[in-house]
Structure 1
Amino acid sequence: MPPSSPAERALEQAETSFGAHLAITPRERAALLRQVARRLGADKTEINEAELLHALCQVRRRSWANGMMNRAHRNGDVWVRKADVLLAAERISDPLIDEDGQSAVLESVLEERWREMADTPLRVLDDMRADFADVGTFLSGTQIERLSHSIARAFGGVDLGFEDEMILEEERRAREQEDIRAKAEARRARELQKIKDWEATLVSFEKVPALLHCSRREALRWIGENRLPVAKRDMQPDGLEIFYFDPAELKKCRPLLNSWRRGTGKKSDDGYDDSPEARTGNAAIARVAALDRFAAHFRTARALNRRITLVTGPTNSGKSHTALEALAQAESGLALAPLRLLAHEFREAMLSRGVPASLTTGEERIIDPTARHLAATVEMCPFNNPVDVAIIDEAQMLSDPDRGAAWTAAIMGVPARHVFILGAADCIPLVKRIAELCNDPVDEIHLERKSPLRPAGTLALTDLRAGDALIAFSRRDVLDLRAELMAHNRRVAVIYGALSPEVRRAEAARFNRGEADILIATDAIGMGLNLSIRRVVFSTLRKYDGRQTRNLVSQEVKQIGGRAGRFGKHEEGLVCVLEGAGRPSFIRHMLDAPPEPTLELRPLVQPDADIVQAVAQEMDTDSLYGVLTRIKRAVLRPDDPNYRLADMEQALEIAAALEGVDGLDLSTRWTYAMCPINTRDNGIPRLVEWAALHARGQRIFPPGTGRLPAAATAGREELERAEKRHRRLVTWRWLAMRFPENYPELIVAERNAAILDEWIEQVLRTQSRMRESSRRYQGRRNGDAPTRQREGHNRSKTPRSKAGGFGKKKPHGKRKKD
């Protein structure tokens, strides 16, 4: 049967003339015909040999890429990525290339990637190891050797010996890490055994009279007078507290008994026996730490005649305005924010009022030597420099289990004569309790919302309009919803916790300018970011809070929903639920609910560097793990009437891992234990590795950006990798601010962070713009709405099923709290 189309005739002729050896299969023929058809025109009926070869390469590139990826998987070359094999397949120009030829092209692509990543092979290897560790992948010795060969070749390692150097360095590193782990385990066990052995010697109250040769009544009186040191307290399920005593400590009290009986024994102002013999064991450690008298630690604040103004109200009630005006008019001042982004906004607010201001955050300093005002994050509160006015924002964070202790310290310790505390109404009882503990008077101002906020029922995804914000509670859900909306040709901006403040601000600006129709965000929008939102739409009414999946509470609905209806932009704010996500009545009930009762009025507290040092001296130890373990067990009774000990688990975990690192003093260890890390991104092992280099006096260079593909082609895997690299840089910069000699090249780190910020924002922005351009082009071409819908539907499935792989679903781990 004769060929029925120009493409078939052209292909048959080309095969007969010069293509018989190409072994074109029936399966390839249909795709090849489409390639040939594109090369024919009105006046062209034939293709030449070069065109046939190129067309066949186009057809075979997918199978080449699959083959290269499969061989990489079999060989254990986990550093080979989808983008690498696709680029290698694109560069192949011989349709008959064999596997060795494909491997050579792939290797050339990898070598380019290594050279783009860093200036030296060792830095490339460090960055690659960090990337793998972030996702829980650790290379075997054979894999390290293969990777080292590849990187060394990229830098001319055959001649310069890089390859051997890298392999030896990796072997040394592995031995050191194993040694650190073994030492840490042994020292942790030793510290715990010390406590266990000591606790085994303790006796109950029943044995106290015999040990002291006193009556039971006398022993009870001396315990009540805080003369006898209680070594350990156990609270029984029925509420009864059992005391245990150290016999050795009790024996030291015997010479004091006669003076106690006469009532002449010396007691300190806080009621404790002040004799050297009584100042031992857990009682002495608790006394040195003095967390039960936490407000007294802040001597500068206690020396001032402070006045607190508590300004509460819902989102969009203008809480900041009055405080900022007072701050701007003061001769000196301080503004404390929960986020670096908000600290920047406070500084910009002061600058806009003509007030010079500096900035201090965990990873950034902007110092104006003429400024007498400072904007800072809450954890960076300066406790020793008195100012006239201070602002502390988002005081409802006092109840946060992870960061609440920082707000306690800031409110108790900020050295300002007039302190403005801003927050939701939920914070009122706790702030008042803290003011009572500090003997500070409190004025209250309650503000109402400037524009009405009301529930507005249920919406389908297709009902979303420009100015809407769709709320999800995980990065994965945000990106899934983004893909679905983009498939419907909607322009989308996104905000979630893994994005840096710079990217969040850029995305918010894009939404506010109308360059994006819809904002998809986590509760990261609940604090800060001026957003011109008309409707807030919850895609779910449940969230994972880091501990459990639960229903949203009223304060969360109010805080997030309150972002709708920005005053001056919209007459009212509307709060909706996405179709199938839950009942609209739930939103109505949460918006109408009064502030939830505060059942726990004891503020969270945690030790600082001075307390840790004092306890270590009392214990005569340099083990941070031992100190923190004893603090957790001894310094604050579970039933203390005034304070609660904050969760110290991450600091304890870091301290335990650092036990294996020799050469760091206690203060340095404590600084590392306070470092902001993500434990799910291999944060603690990386921190320990950096600390080991620090201890040896070696320099730790900033992480690189890695190879960043073109933004238009980047998928979720590349985006997530860039976000993790940025988080690495945040940790590195935090340490560089405290140990500049050990963490040099801060300018390089800031440049790398800026590159990643720009690339991430470009990925988020470019893909939306490309969708819009594609839609307009399709509309101009034929206006085929059903075709566009069908194509959009297919695209909407891509991020769910093919993100980062060749049509295979990637398993998702535990969702990160944003």
Structure 2
Amino acid sequence: MKTPSGSRLTRSSPAPLPENASHAPSSPARAALEAVLARTGLSIEPREESALLRRIGRALEPGARDVPDEVFRTALCAVRRKRWTSRLMDLTRREGRIWISREDMEQATATITDPVAPDPVLLGALETVMAARFRELGDTPQAALDAMQADVLDTGRVLSAAQTARLAEAIANAFDMRERDRFIGGARETEESRARREEALARTAQSRRENEEQRLRTWEASLVRFADVPRLLHCSHREALRWIAENRIPVARRIRQKDGQELWEFDPTELASLRHNLSEWRKGSAEGFERGEKRGRERRDTHELPPPPKVGKNVANSVIARVAALDRYAGHFRTARALERRITLVTGPTNSGKSHTALDALARAESGLALAPLRLLAHEFRESLAARGVEASLSTGEERIKVPGSRHLAATVEMCPFSNPVDVAVIDEAQMLFDPDRGAAWTAAIMGAPARHLYILGAPECIPMVRRIAELCGDPVDEISLLRKSPLRAASSSVRLHDLKAGDALIAFSRREVLDLRAALMERGRRVAVVYGALSPEVRRAEAQRFNDGQADILIATDAIGMGLNLSIRRVVFAALRKFDGRQTRDLTVQEVKQIGGRAGRYGKHEDGIVAVLADAGSPRFIRQHLEAAPVPPDELRPLVQPDADIVRAIAEEIGSDSLYGVLARIKRAVLRPDDPNYRLSDMEQPFAIASALEGVEGLDLSQRWTYAMCPVDDRDNGIRRLVGWAADHAIGVRVLPPGTGRLPPPERAGREELERAEKRHKRLVAWRWLSLRFPEIYPDREEAEDTTRRLNDWIESVLRQQSRTRTRKRGE
């Protein structure tokens, strides 16, 4: 007979003993193992012996040298579960049943009581588990199928039509359907239709992208070098150089050479359109030039942009740049430029009280605006104003709370209202100006916040960048530098895991590391709270509260701890001194160590803050050197910028295209030179990827496409693919219903895989709610989505509160 893994079992002899066993008395556990093997006729593999001896030893009564057969069979089944799970993984993956998770398989093998169970027994146990799971997923077979498909999509995979039919068959069996054939056939047909639609969308998108790229290549191929300019304009070499210097002749494209020089190219169509100006240019006097300069100054003073020349579809990159005006980005914010703004820059390390003075001034003002980097912080700003007697409205990407009569608003930075003047505005965490993904939002907020008095709060590293932005805006700056309220020092030695104490925060740099450390500490009997980026703001706040209230001894967090949460931490312990930043794995920077480590020693709670490193994770010297280091001057002082909806529309109109992909491609090529002295163009990688995928969707206008391109999705779980599906439904007028919670098992039985699924469902709901605020007719039932979000948050919070689950399972095995 063979086991599921293929190894042969013999029922006639016990496991072989070590060579010296005959010369030494057997231990009680070994004696019991030999006896039960001889009695049952079962055999074991050498690799199973140690685990079995431990389990039998725990089961033996004092003085006993034998165990009942059933105790042995139960122990042997427990030892073989891992192998059985691997066997089920092999069998299901061969059949393409990718919707079955490892936790499903582990749950199935836990029910098996025959230690020599063959494949049919394993598969039967799995079918029973899956049937129960399907029934938990929804009240109807269709609801279960939809939830299962969504879960698979969250893993980055998509079921084929054949796999969908196989899944539908299993669900039909679980629900004991009468019309199972119709259900299975309908599921297959729906999946085939979806696949055809996606294929058509992809073909259309590819064709449109190629057309846009070909149009751009055709135009670029038509460009001429400087040597051809005099001939095409009918002017001299010297005149051409002078007129280029005077910006009368636009350079269509500048190509930087390896030696640092620039190769200039010009649009012959545009050159031809300028010929009628030559006589005026030649006879133009200094007075005429001065009049032109005066008109230019007047336009700048009134924040009016000069009208771009109209040169048809093949518009020069220089014209696109002038339309976008990103090289004059400050002038884009007309309301702010019309105000006499004053900036107060308040800088200091973590725990220096930067926000107190600014919030007091905001509360005293008749109207005001508080801009935060996170939805959680926007809520805290609103609560801080309420504590000062001021009721404020709230505006975040996915949430609106309107307080009638209120003239104060708390919002996330991306939601800054640029057209409503206020007396005072506060912008927090200004060091985010350097963030490659979100830095452009801080540039826009600081340049465009329509406030007469603007408070900017941040770490000392942001000072030169804020000064630069203020200079570009023409705003005066007052600077306030604050010191930390309580001392911060580096620990002299590293800390071992078992030496962590109540009030410590352990810092890791991935979700997996956080949960691994949580499991390790829970096995040691410690009460743990966790904070990481995939958790919703509500759950992060609840976990922080558990830690602050003493319901959890230790907080384990990613660098999400470094922003926004009020935490009573005595000591910060780094579990790693290197992190993956999305591009590379690197050492922590001075600013990161200070920002995260600075959370230790909250003023009024602890006399000082201590920053340490976990044993074997790095050197305490690294921490000390980084805490003592002076602020590192930034490598780049040009603020990041990116277009908004108005700029996108203007460029689309100029190039005569309704393709968002084409517009963004031109922006990336043309709007800002790499060596522009004032600004850098944000890479806009995700909006560009979404715009590219949306090219195949007919029926959405440019503004709607731009809105979808700004939607917060995570492409690691097929977020862009799902977004395009929603957009395609939108284009044909089909309502997109809110996502559900999917399967939520009892929190005490939830594992990591189920927790991760719930976190991904929450992200899906965030994107849906974001879109529902912008397209309420297409994304209805917002209240249902908010109820679903609350249920998910409550469930996730309950899972994280299960402090003893891991220890109990370990002891029971």
Normalising to structure 2: TM-score of the pair? 0.86
Please state if 1:245 is matched with 2:281: no
Letter of the structure 1 residue corresponding to residue 158 of structure 2: F
Q: Name the CA distance, whole Å, in 2 between partners of 1:707 and 1:459.
A: 42
Q: Indicate the residue corresponding to 1:573 in structure 2.
A: 609
**Equivalent in the alignment of 2:740:** 704
State the AA in 2 paired with 1:229.
P
Inter-CA distance 593–59: structure 2 relative to 1 (3 Å threshold): closer
Q: Which amino acid aligns with 1:466?
A: A
Contact 2:527 2:803 in 1 (8 A): no
Residues of 1 paired with 2:129 and 2:308: CA distance?
74
- Amino acid of the structure 2 residue aligned with 1:81: S
Partner of 1:203: 224
Is residue 654 of structure 1 aligned with residue 674 of structure 2?
no
Task: Name 1:5's counterpart in structure 2.
Answer: none
Question: Is the CA contact (8 Å cut-off) linking 1:359 and 1:375 kept in structure 2?
Answer: yes
CA deviation profile, 1:308-343 (whole Å, cap 9, x unmatched): 111100000000100111111111111100011111
Deviation for aligned residue 1:122: 4.3
Pairs within 5 Å for 1:343-362: 343-362=378-397
SS at structure 2 position matched to 1:458:
coil
**Aligned pair partner of 1:456 in 491, 500, 504:** 491
Look up the equivalent residue of 1:230 and give its one-letter code.
V
Of residues 198, 209, 216 in structure 2, which corresponds to 1:188?
209
1:379 corresponds, among 414, 418, 425, to 414
Aligned position for 2:190: 169
Instruction: Give the drift of 1:615.
Output: 0.4
Structure 2: 5+ residue runs without aligned partners? 1-38, 62-66
SS at match of 1:510: helix
Q: 1:242 to 1:27 in 2, by over 3 A?
A: closer
Preserved CA contact (<8 Å) 1:356 1:370: no
> Counterparts of 1:482 and 1:97 in 2: how far apart (Å)?
35
Identity of aligned residues (%): 62
Q: Residue by residue, what CA displacement relative to the aligned partner does 1:756-782 show, whole Å, maximum 9, x if unpaired?
A: 2222222221135775x99xxxxxxxx
Secondary structure of 1:457's counterpart equals coil
Task: Name which of 769, 789, 812 aligns with 1:753.
Answer: 789
Match of 2:13 in 1: none
1:211-226 aligned at under 5 Å gives the runs 211-226=232-247
1:634-783 alignment runs, 5 A limit: 634-768=670-804, 771=807
- Structure 2 Cα separation of the partners of residues 649 and 389 of structure 1: 34
Q: Which residue pairs with 1:598 in the alignment?
A: 634
Match of 1:469 among 505, 511, 525: 505
**Cα distance in 2 between the residues matched to 1:762 and 1:591:** 37
Is 1:143 matched with 2:163? yes
Deviations 1:654-695 (A, max 9, x none): 111111111111111111111111122212111111111111
Question: Secondary structure of 2:279's match?
Answer: helix
* Residue of structure 1 aligned with 2:589, choices 537, 550, 553: 553
TM normalised by structure 1 equals 0.86
Contact 2:740/2:788 (CA < 8 Å) preserved in 1? yes
Question: 1:478-497 maps to which residues of 2 (within 5 A)?
Answer: 478-497=514-533
Deviation at 1:534, TM superposition (A): 1.0
Which deviates the most, 553-562 or 64-73?
64-73
Partner of 1:447: 482
State the 1:120 CA deviation: 5.0
- Post-superposition CA distance 1:157-200 (Å, at most 9, x none): 54273222221110000011111112212211221111111111
Question: Any conservation in 2 of the 1:472–1:523 contact (CA below 8 Å)?
Answer: yes
Residue type at the aligned position of 1:405: A
CA contact (8 A) 2:570 2:602 kept: yes
State the alpha-carbon separation in 1 of the partners of residues 776 and 71 from structure 2: 55
Aligned to 1:528: 564
In the TM superposition, residue 567 of structure 1 has moved relative to its aligned partner by 0.2
- Amino acid across the alignment from 1:289: A
**Does the C-alpha gap of structure 1 residues 528 and 635 become closer, same or farther in structure 2, counting only changes over 3 Å?**
same
Q: Secondary structure at the match of 1:767?
A: coil
2:104 aligns to what?
A: 84
- The answer on 1:618 being equivalent to 2:638 is no
Q: CA deviation at 1:550?
A: 1.3
Partner of 2:179: 159
Asked if the contact 1:472–1:522 (Cα under 8 Å) also holds between the matched residues in 2, the reply is yes
1:75 aligns with 2:95: yes
Written as runs of structure 1 = structure 2, the 5 A alignment for 1:40-439 is 66=85, 70-88=90-108, 106-154=126-174, 157-159=177-179, 161-263=182-284, 269=296, 276=309, 280-439=315-474
CA contact (8 A) 1:228 1:250 kept: yes
Letter of the 2:637 partner, please give it: L
Question: What residue is the counterpart of 1:11 in the other structure?
Answer: none
Q: Distance in 2 between matches of 1:56 and 1:260?
A: 100
Tell me the alpha carbon deviations over residues 136-173 of structure 1, each in whole angstroms, 9 at most, x when there is no partner.
33323321210122234445654273222221110000
- Report Cα offsets for 1:373-427 as digits up to 9, x if no partner: 1111100111111111111000010111110000000011111111110001111
Q: Deviations over 1:433-455 (max 9, x none)?
A: 11111111111111110001111
Distance 1:492 1:144 in 2: 40
Q: Displacement, 1:495?
A: 1.2
> 1:611 and 1:520 mapped to 2: Cα distance?
43
Q: In 2, Cα distance between the equivalents of 1:80 and 1:668?
A: 37
Q: How many angstroms apart in 2 are the aligned matches of 1:601 and 1:765?
A: 45
Aligned partners of 1:746, 1:478: CA distance in 2, in Å? Answer: 33
CA contact (8 A) 1:53 1:93 kept: no
Q: Is the 8 A contact 2:77 2:112 kept in 1?
A: no
Distance change in 2, residues 1:385/1:155 (3 Å): farther
Cα distance in 1, alignment partners of residues 118 and 618 from structure 2: 56
Distance 1:286 1:711, change over 3 A: same
Residue range with higher mean Cα deviation, 378-387 or 109-118: 109-118
Pick one of 581, 596, 608 that aligns with 2:644: 608
Residue 628 (structure 1) shift:
0.2
What amino acid maps onto 2:447 in structure 1? M
Matched, 1:507 2:543: yes
1:536-593 deviation per Cα after TM superposition (whole angstroms, max 9, x unaligned): 1112221111111111111111101110110000001111122222222222221121
Q: Is the 8 A contact 1:336 1:391 kept in 2?
A: yes
Contact 1:227 1:273 in 2 (8 A): no
- Cα–Cα, structure 1 residues 109 and 514, in superposed 2: closer, same or farther, change >3 Å? same
Say whether the 8 Å CA contact 1:470–1:521 is kept in structure 2: yes
Compute the displacement of 1:480 (Å): 2.0
Deviation at 1:102, TM superposition (A): 6.5
Matched letter for residue 363 of structure 2: A
Instruction: Look up the match of 1:785.
Output: none
**Distance (Å, rounded) in 2 between the aligned partners of 1:365 and 1:239:** 50
**In 1, Cα distance between equivalents of 2:540 and 2:804:** 16
In 2, the alpha carbon distance for the partners of 1:739 and 1:728 equals 16
Contact 1:676 1:731 (8 Å CA) reproduced? yes
Preserved CA contact (<8 Å) 2:165 2:185: no
For the residues of structure 2 that align with 1:24 and 1:703, how far apart are their CA atoms? 54
Alignment partners' CA distance in 1, 2:183 and 2:492: 65
Secondary structure of the residue aligned to 1:384 is: coil
Measure the CA separation in 2 of the matches of 1:541 and 1:723: 27
Residues 616-669 of structure 1: CA deviation (Å, up to 9, x unaligned): 000110100000000111111222221111111211111111111111111111
Amino acid across the alignment from 1:320: S
